[in-house]
């Protein structure tokens, strides 16, 4: 119970008591927790014949999204989909995301829209990122990005998807732990039915500007022999997998900038310089070169993710085996137990690696000459893994580059087009929704109200 309510606090206490490797029992399952980042490679690169990710993934797919796929192999799926999110496909995704962000974020050229408006920062961040991200991957209602009637259709449809998605997202952590009440199960089933219709094969086939990623995934499901009903369920699962982290990441990043004036000034100064160097007054488009020319912002993003990304990296033990740690210690793992890394505790919040790890320091990942800092140490030895928001090894997030580009674009468009401020500058940064430890980006316990208006 304590593990489910606040995993970080529970595991931190266990680490103080038992060291950086120990075994706990949760819901009848023995789980060995490893918190030594020097030893993570022994898990991340172990063969799938000994340590398997697929079995637990299939359990969560069913519990959270009612998805059962025949002959499902996440590793094979990743190989197939990676190319659609990287390399030669990245520029087209970046361009589409820019247009879709503008559609969702800048809908009203009316002079009255230059009045101050108030909104929850989390709602603003999550809704804009999910809606634009959804349109970018799953396609637009019609082909012409710049046609106002097409944009209106995209705004209305993406808002409907987001509103249903957000309601479901509030229930998914409890669903993953099989803790939903009868009433919550009924509510979740109703929301999912609505979303399956919005993401049906028929609806997706009628869309324009679909990404090569969604085309590839649809073809993959057809080759597996999945029927149309299950394909719709898989589309909802992928919507959550691709979009559930970027919005919360933007929320924390913007909140840290609004609470730390030196950080905001440094980011805005860097952004103005990037735009000016390309002979622009306002951002008319964002090239990969521009996105790659922001070391200050990169440090801010890395620091934000260090503080707020908290996924578990889990493996099922398929056969009795020996786990050898970096310091030479050996531990026996039993078949059918689970092995789990929790990088949030170490390296990310480890005081031996980071001074004042609970504090936001925007330049923590910057060197004196304004390049990315990569040298961090524990026990006198340089760390290979010092910040792991994207996972690592064969489980590194395949959408990382698209996600980073998308986060940058949203923040850059927001800061160049809007004035924004906290409604109450003295309001404290909210705590985490502790039930989300283990599942990626953390969400706040409550929203923070901001004021914003279009720049003159």
Is residue 357 over pLDDT 80? Answer: yes
Predicted local confidence at residue 287, as pLDDT: 87
Which residues, including other chains, have CB under 8 Å from residue 390's CB and lie 6 or more apart?
A: 396, 397, 400
Contact 139, 209 (CB under 8 A): yes
Which residue has 């929301």 as its token pair? 191
Is residue 232 over pLDDT 70? Answer: yes
Which residues, including other chains, have CB under 8 Å from residue 142's CB and lie 6 or more apart?
A: 149, 150, 153, 208
Is residue 63 over pLDDT 90? Answer: yes
> Rounded to two decimals, what is the model's pTM?
0.96
Is the peptide bond between 347 and the residue preceding it cis, with omega within 30 degrees of 0? yes
Q: List the Cα angle 328/329/331 in 5-degree steps.
A: 135
Phi, psi of 71 (to 5 degrees): 50, 40
User: How large is the average pLDDT for residues 33-43?
Assistant: 96
Annotated binding site for heme: 397
Q: Compute CA 286 distance to the chain's CA centroid, rounded to the nearest angstrom.
A: 22
User: Mean of the per-residue pLDDT values for the chain?
Assistant: 93
Both structure tokens of 456: 């003159």
Predicted local confidence at residue 90, as pLDDT: 93
User: How large is the average pLDDT for residues 280-284?
Assistant: 63
Tell the burial category of 120 from Cβ atoms under 10 Å away from its Cβ (0-12, 13-18, 19+): middle
Q: Compute CA 382 distance to the chain's CA centroid, rounded to the nearest angstrom.
A: 27
User: How large is the average pLDDT for residues 158-186?
Assistant: 97
In a 3-state reduction of DSSP, which class is residue 139?
A: coil
Beta bridge partners of 22: 33
Both structure tokens of 41: 């490679």
Strands 338-341 and 29-34 turn out to be parallel
Annotated binding site: 63, 69, 245, 338, 397
Residue 82 pLDDT class (50, 70, 90 cuts): confident
Predicted local confidence at residue 272, as pLDDT: 92
Both structure tokens of 73: 């192999």
Contact 397, 390 (CB under 8 A): yes
Q: Which of 251-255, 285-289, 354-358 has the lowest mean pLDDT?
A: 285-289
Phi, psi of 418 (to 5 degrees): -130, 145
Tally of CB atoms within 10 A around 50: 18
Structural domains of the chain, ranges and CATH numbers in brackets: 76-310+359-454 (1.10.630.10)
Contact 210, 368 (CB under 8 A): no
Q: List the Cα angle 436/442/448 in 5-degree steps.
A: 120
pLDDT digits (tens, 9 = 90+) for 381-399: 999 999 999 998 877 899 9
Annotated binding site for substrate: 63, 69, 245, 338
Which residue has 């922001």 as its token pair? 294
User: How large is the average pLDDT for residues 337-359?
Assistant: 97
Tell me how far apart the alpha carbons of residues 44 and 391 are, in angstroms, rounded to a whole number: 9
Tell me how far apart the alpha carbons of residues 153 and 10 are, in angstroms, rounded to a whole number: 47
**Helix runs in 177-245, H state only:** 182-198, 201-205, 212-223, 228-243
Tell me how far apart the alpha carbons of residues 147 and 141 are, in angstroms, rounded to a whole number: 11
Is residue 1 over pLDDT 90? Answer: no
Q: Which helix (H) or strand (E) segment is 246 a member of? A: helix 246-259
Nearest to 292 by CA among 314, 315, 270: 270
Is residue 113 over pLDDT 70? Answer: no
Predicted local confidence at residue 81, as pLDDT: 84
Interior/surface letters 371-402, b for 16+ CB within 10 angstroms, e for the rest: eeeeebebeeeebebbbbbbbbeebebbbebb
User: How large is the average pLDDT for residues 199-210?
Assistant: 96
Residue 191 pLDDT class (50, 70, 90 cuts): very high
Both structure tokens of 431: 């705590």
Predicted local confidence at residue 111, as pLDDT: 58
Tell me how far apart the alpha carbons of residues 322 and 456 are, in angstroms, rounded to a whole number: 65
């Amino acid at each position: 119970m304590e593990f489910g309510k606040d995993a970080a606090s529970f595991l931190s206490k266990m680490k103080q008591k038992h060291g950086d490797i120990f075994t706990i029992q949760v819901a009848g399952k023995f789980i060995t927790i490893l918190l030594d980042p020097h030893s993570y490679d022994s898990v991340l690169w172990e063969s799938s014949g000994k340590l398997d990710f697929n079995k637990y993934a299939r359990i969560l797919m069913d519990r959270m999204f009612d998805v059962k796929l025949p002959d499902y192999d996440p590793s094979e799926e990743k190989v197939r989909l990676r190319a659609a999110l990287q390399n030669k496909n990245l520029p087209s995704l970046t361009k589409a995301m820019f247009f879709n962000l503008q559609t969702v974020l800048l809908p009203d050229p009316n002079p009255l829209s230059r009045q101050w408006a108030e909104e929850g920062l989390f709602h603003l961040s999550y809704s804009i990122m999910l809606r634009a991200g959804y349109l970018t991957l799953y396609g637009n209602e019609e082909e012409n990005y710049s046609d106002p009637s097409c944009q209106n259709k995209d705004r209305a449809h993406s808002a409907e998807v987001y509103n249903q998605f957000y309601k479901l997202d509030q229930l998914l952590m409890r669903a993953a732990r099989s803790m939903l009440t009868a009433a919550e199960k009924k509510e979740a089933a109703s929301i999912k039915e609505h979303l399956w219709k919005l993401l049906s094969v028929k609806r997706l086939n009628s869309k324009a500007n679909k990404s090569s990623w969604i085309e590839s995934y649809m073809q993959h499901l057809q080759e597996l022999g999945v029927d149309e009903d299950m394909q719709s369920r898989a589309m909802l699962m992928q919507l959550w997998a691709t979009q559930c982290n970027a919005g919360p990441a933007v929320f924390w990043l913007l909140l840290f900038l609004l609470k730390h004036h030196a950080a905001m000034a440094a980011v805005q100064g860097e952004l103005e310089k990037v735009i000016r160097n390309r002979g622009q007054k306002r951002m008319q488009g964002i090239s990969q070169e521009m996105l790659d020319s922001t070391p200050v912002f990169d440090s801010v993003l890395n620091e934000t993710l260090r503080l707020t990304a908290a996924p578990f990296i889990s493996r099922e033990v398929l056969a009795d085996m020996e786990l050898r740690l970096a310091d030479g210690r050996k531990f026996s793992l039993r078949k059918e137990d689970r092995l789990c890394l929790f990088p949030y505790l170490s390296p990310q919040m480890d005081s031996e690696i980071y001074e004042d790890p609970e504090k936001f320091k925007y330049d923590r990942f910057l060197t004196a000459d304004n390049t990315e800092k990569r040298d961090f140490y524990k026990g006198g030895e340089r760390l290979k893994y010092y910040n792991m928001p994207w996972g690592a090894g064969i489980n590194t997030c395949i959408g990382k580059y698209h996600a980073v580009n998308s986060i940058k674009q949203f923040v850059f468009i927001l800061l160049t087009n809007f004035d924004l401020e906290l409604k109450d500058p003295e309001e404290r940064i909210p705590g985490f929704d502790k039930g989300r430890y283990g599942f990626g980006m953390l969400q706040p316990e409550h929203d923070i109200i901001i004021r914003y208006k279009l720049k003159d």
